[in-house]
Amino acid sequence: MSAYKCFHCGSKIKSEDLNKRFVCPDCGSRIFFKPRTKMKTVTSD
């Protein structure tokens, strides 16, 4: 299942939730982006 991320506060929102109401439940923003399925975390000393 795909999920979106709020561009404003970074909350994860399921696509099925966006079908009902296309706003972020946390901050009310309407800008979302689809994060990559796999996120790479790189740490360097």
Task: Tell me which residues touch Zn ion (CB under 5 A).
Answer: 6, 8-9, 11, 24, 26-27, 29
Name the residue nearer to Zn ion (CB basis): 2 or 40. 2
Q: Whose Cβ is closer to Zn ion: residue 34's or residue 40's?
A: 34
Distances, alpha carbon 6 to alpha carbons 2, 19, 20, 22, 43, in Å: 14, 15, 16, 11, 24
Cβ 5 to Zn ion shortest distance, Å: 9
Nearer Cβ to Zn ion (2/29): 29
| 13 contacts 32 by C-beta, under 8 angstroms | yes
